[in-house]
Amino acid sequence: MNIPAQPFGFDLDLAHAALVIIDMQRDFVEPGGFGETLGNDVSLLQAIVPACQAVLQAWRRAGGLVVHTREAHRPDLSDCPPAKRLRGNPSLRIGDEGPMGRILVAGEPGNQIIDTLAPLPGEIVLDKPGKGAFYATPLQNLLEQAGVTQLVFMGVTTEVCVQTSMREANDRGYDCLLLEDCTESYFPHFKAAALEMVRAQGAIVGWTAPSAALLPALAPR
Protein backbone atom coordinates (compact mmCIF):
# COMPACT_ATOMS: atom_id res chain seq x y z
CA MET A 1 0.00 0.00 0.00
CA ASN A 2 1.21 3.50 -0.81
CA ILE A 3 1.68 5.64 2.30
CA PRO A 4 1.37 9.43 1.82
CA ALA A 5 4.83 10.61 2.82
CA GLN A 6 7.54 13.15 2.09
CA PRO A 7 9.12 13.68 -0.36
CA PHE A 8 6.75 11.26 -2.15
CA GLY A 9 4.68 8.18 -1.40
CA PHE A 10 6.22 5.18 0.37
CA ASP A 11 5.13 1.78 -0.97
CA LEU A 12 4.77 -0.34 2.17
CA ASP A 13 5.15 -4.11 1.79
CA LEU A 14 4.16 -5.30 5.26
CA ALA A 15 5.28 -8.88 4.61
CA HIS A 16 8.82 -7.61 4.11
CA ALA A 17 8.83 -4.76 6.63
CA ALA A 18 9.85 -4.39 10.27
CA LEU A 19 8.91 -1.77 12.84
CA VAL A 20 12.09 -0.59 14.58
CA ILE A 21 11.59 1.17 17.92
CA ILE A 22 14.74 2.96 18.99
CA ASP A 23 15.70 3.33 22.66
CA MET A 24 12.36 4.05 24.30
CA GLN A 25 14.03 3.42 27.65
CA ARG A 26 13.27 4.69 31.12
CA ASP A 27 16.69 6.37 31.31
CA PHE A 28 15.78 8.59 28.37
CA VAL A 29 12.03 9.05 28.73
CA GLU A 30 11.20 9.07 32.44
CA PRO A 31 12.01 11.68 35.11
CA GLY A 32 15.09 10.79 37.12
CA GLY A 33 16.83 9.00 34.29
CA PHE A 34 20.02 9.72 32.40
CA GLY A 35 18.35 12.15 30.02
CA GLU A 36 17.15 14.34 32.86
CA THR A 37 20.55 14.29 34.59
CA LEU A 38 21.92 15.88 31.44
CA GLY A 39 19.55 18.80 32.02
CA ASN A 40 16.95 17.79 29.45
CA ASP A 41 13.16 18.14 29.58
CA VAL A 42 11.99 14.54 29.29
CA SER A 43 8.36 15.58 28.93
CA LEU A 44 9.15 16.30 25.27
CA LEU A 45 9.94 12.62 24.75
CA GLN A 46 7.02 11.42 26.86
CA ALA A 47 4.64 13.28 24.54
CA ILE A 48 5.21 10.81 21.68
CA VAL A 49 4.37 7.70 23.72
CA PRO A 50 0.63 7.57 22.84
CA ALA A 51 1.33 7.76 19.10
CA CYS A 52 4.06 5.14 19.40
CA GLN A 53 1.73 2.88 21.34
CA ALA A 54 -1.02 3.21 18.74
CA VAL A 55 1.35 2.26 15.92
CA LEU A 56 2.86 -0.63 17.86
CA GLN A 57 -0.55 -2.09 18.65
CA ALA A 58 -1.71 -1.74 15.04
CA TRP A 59 1.53 -3.23 13.73
CA ARG A 60 1.19 -6.21 16.04
CA ARG A 61 -2.41 -6.79 14.99
CA ALA A 62 -1.29 -6.74 11.37
CA GLY A 63 1.30 -9.42 12.13
CA GLY A 64 4.36 -7.31 11.37
CA LEU A 65 7.87 -7.96 12.70
CA VAL A 66 8.85 -5.76 15.66
CA VAL A 67 12.38 -4.80 16.70
CA HIS A 68 13.16 -2.96 19.95
CA THR A 69 16.58 -1.48 20.72
CA ARG A 70 18.15 -0.37 23.98
CA GLU A 71 21.34 1.61 24.32
CA ALA A 72 23.10 -0.59 26.83
CA HIS A 73 26.60 -1.46 27.99
CA ARG A 74 28.13 -4.41 29.76
CA PRO A 75 28.48 -4.02 33.54
CA ASP A 76 32.27 -3.78 33.20
CA LEU A 77 31.86 -1.05 30.54
CA SER A 78 34.29 -2.88 28.28
CA ASP A 79 32.12 -1.89 25.30
CA CYS A 80 31.93 1.79 26.31
CA PRO A 81 34.98 3.71 25.11
CA PRO A 82 36.25 6.66 27.18
CA ALA A 83 35.44 8.95 24.26
CA LYS A 84 31.78 8.17 24.92
CA ARG A 85 31.74 7.91 28.70
CA LEU A 86 33.72 11.08 29.35
CA ARG A 87 32.01 13.33 26.80
CA GLY A 88 30.36 16.51 28.11
CA ASN A 89 29.98 17.46 31.76
CA PRO A 90 27.00 15.51 33.16
CA SER A 91 26.30 15.05 36.85
CA LEU A 92 26.20 11.29 36.21
CA ARG A 93 28.09 9.30 33.60
CA ILE A 94 27.45 5.96 31.95
CA GLY A 95 27.98 3.24 34.55
CA ASP A 96 27.42 5.53 37.54
CA GLU A 97 24.71 4.73 40.07
CA GLY A 98 21.58 6.76 39.35
CA PRO A 99 17.99 6.86 40.63
CA MET A 100 17.13 3.86 38.40
CA GLY A 101 20.32 1.88 38.88
CA ARG A 102 23.56 2.15 36.94
CA ILE A 103 23.22 4.49 33.96
CA LEU A 104 22.85 2.72 30.58
CA VAL A 105 24.01 -0.63 31.93
CA ALA A 106 22.27 -3.74 30.64
CA GLY A 107 19.81 -5.25 33.09
CA GLU A 108 19.42 -2.15 35.26
CA PRO A 109 15.89 -0.78 35.87
CA GLY A 110 16.52 2.46 33.99
CA ASN A 111 17.82 0.58 30.99
CA GLN A 112 14.49 -1.14 30.41
CA ILE A 113 11.96 -0.13 27.77
CA ILE A 114 9.03 1.81 29.22
CA ASP A 115 6.07 -0.31 30.27
CA THR A 116 3.65 1.06 27.67
CA LEU A 117 5.93 -0.09 24.83
CA ALA A 118 7.33 -3.21 26.50
CA PRO A 119 8.33 -6.01 24.13
CA LEU A 120 6.16 -9.10 23.80
CA PRO A 121 7.58 -12.63 23.71
CA GLY A 122 8.95 -13.35 20.26
CA GLU A 123 9.75 -9.73 19.40
CA ILE A 124 13.39 -8.88 18.74
CA VAL A 125 15.14 -6.96 21.52
CA LEU A 126 18.68 -5.74 20.87
CA ASP A 127 21.14 -4.12 23.26
CA LYS A 128 23.36 -1.79 21.26
CA PRO A 129 26.56 -0.22 22.60
CA GLY A 130 26.56 2.54 20.02
CA LYS A 131 24.15 5.05 18.56
CA GLY A 132 23.30 2.97 15.51
CA ALA A 133 21.14 -0.14 15.69
CA PHE A 134 23.44 -2.09 13.36
CA TYR A 135 26.76 -1.42 15.09
CA ALA A 136 27.94 -4.45 17.12
CA THR A 137 24.49 -6.11 16.98
CA PRO A 138 23.04 -9.03 14.98
CA LEU A 139 20.31 -6.83 13.49
CA GLN A 140 21.29 -7.20 9.84
CA ASN A 141 21.46 -11.00 10.07
CA LEU A 142 18.08 -11.14 11.81
CA LEU A 143 16.47 -8.93 9.16
CA GLU A 144 17.98 -10.97 6.34
CA GLN A 145 16.68 -14.19 7.89
CA ALA A 146 13.20 -12.66 8.05
CA GLY A 147 13.32 -11.41 4.46
CA VAL A 148 12.96 -7.77 5.53
CA THR A 149 13.69 -5.03 3.00
CA GLN A 150 11.82 -2.09 4.57
CA LEU A 151 12.10 -0.50 8.00
CA VAL A 152 9.61 1.81 9.72
CA PHE A 153 11.27 3.78 12.50
CA MET A 154 10.04 5.25 15.78
CA GLY A 155 11.89 6.30 18.93
CA VAL A 156 14.45 8.68 20.37
CA THR A 157 16.28 10.81 19.86
CA THR A 158 15.59 11.85 16.29
CA GLU A 159 18.94 13.40 15.49
CA VAL A 160 21.12 10.89 17.32
CA CYS A 161 20.21 7.19 17.55
CA VAL A 162 17.25 7.30 15.16
CA GLN A 163 19.00 9.16 12.37
CA THR A 164 22.21 7.15 12.85
CA SER A 165 20.26 3.89 12.58
CA MET A 166 18.45 5.10 9.47
CA ARG A 167 21.70 6.05 7.81
CA GLU A 168 23.17 2.66 8.66
CA ALA A 169 20.07 1.00 7.23
CA ASN A 170 20.18 3.08 4.05
CA ASP A 171 23.80 2.08 3.44
CA ARG A 172 22.71 -1.55 3.75
CA GLY A 173 19.99 -1.18 1.14
CA TYR A 174 16.85 -0.87 3.29
CA ASP A 175 14.03 1.51 2.39
CA CYS A 176 13.21 3.46 5.55
CA LEU A 177 10.18 5.41 6.74
CA LEU A 178 10.38 7.63 9.84
CA LEU A 179 7.11 8.41 11.64
CA GLU A 180 7.25 12.12 12.43
CA ASP A 181 5.02 12.15 15.53
CA CYS A 182 6.60 8.96 16.90
CA THR A 183 10.09 10.41 17.25
CA GLU A 184 11.39 13.32 19.30
CA SER A 185 14.42 15.19 20.52
CA TYR A 186 15.23 17.11 23.69
CA PHE A 187 15.83 19.94 21.20
CA PRO A 188 12.81 20.40 18.89
CA HIS A 189 14.81 22.31 16.30
CA PHE A 190 17.20 19.35 16.05
CA LYS A 191 14.23 17.08 15.28
CA ALA A 192 12.99 19.46 12.59
CA ALA A 193 16.43 19.61 11.02
CA ALA A 194 16.85 15.82 11.15
CA LEU A 195 13.52 15.26 9.40
CA GLU A 196 14.61 17.62 6.64
CA MET A 197 17.96 15.82 6.33
CA VAL A 198 16.34 12.40 6.07
CA ARG A 199 13.94 13.28 3.26
CA ALA A 200 16.14 15.77 1.37
CA GLN A 201 17.22 15.24 -2.22
CA GLY A 202 14.53 12.71 -3.05
CA ALA A 203 14.61 10.70 0.20
CA ILE A 204 18.40 10.48 0.36
CA VAL A 205 18.15 8.67 3.70
CA GLY A 206 14.45 7.81 3.78
CA TRP A 207 10.87 8.99 3.89
CA THR A 208 8.93 10.73 6.66
CA ALA A 209 5.21 10.66 7.39
CA PRO A 210 2.80 11.17 10.29
CA SER A 211 1.56 8.00 11.95
CA ALA A 212 -1.97 8.81 10.77
CA ALA A 213 -0.78 8.13 7.22
CA LEU A 214 0.44 4.65 8.17
CA LEU A 215 -2.38 3.40 10.39
CA PRO A 216 -4.94 2.84 7.59
CA ALA A 217 -2.48 0.47 5.92
CA LEU A 218 -2.37 -1.61 9.11
CA ALA A 219 -6.13 -1.80 9.63
CA PRO A 220 -7.85 -5.19 9.27
CA ARG A 221 -9.30 -5.85 5.84
Q: Out of 161, 176, 182, 191, which one is annotated catalytic?
A: 161
Tell me how far apart the alpha carbons of residues 22 and 182 are, in angstroms, rounded to a whole number: 10
Tell me how far apart the alpha carbons of residues 208 and 195 are, in angstroms, rounded to a whole number: 7
Produce one character per residue of 122-141: b if its CB has 16 or more CB atoms within 10 Å, e if not. Answer: eebebbbbbbbbbeebebbe
Q: Out of 23, 27, 127, 175, which one is annotated catalytic?
A: 23
Tell me how far apart the alpha carbons of residues 47 and 26 are, in angstroms, rounded to a whole number: 14
Clarify whether 182 is annotated catalytic.
Answer: no
SS3 label, residue 101: strand
141 φ, ψ (degrees, to nearest 5): -60, -40
Clarify whether 128 is annotated catalytic.
Answer: yes
Give the relative orientation of helices 188-203 and 163-171 as an angle to the nearest 10 degrees: 20
Tell me how far apart the alpha carbons of residues 181 and 208 are, in angstroms, rounded to a whole number: 10
156 contacts 70 by C-beta, under 8 angstroms: no
Clarify whether 161 is annotated catalytic.
Answer: yes
Q: Out of 128, 131, 176, 182, which one is annotated catalytic?
A: 128
Closest CA to 153 of 42, 49, 55, 14: 55
Residues annotated as catalytic are 23, 128, 161
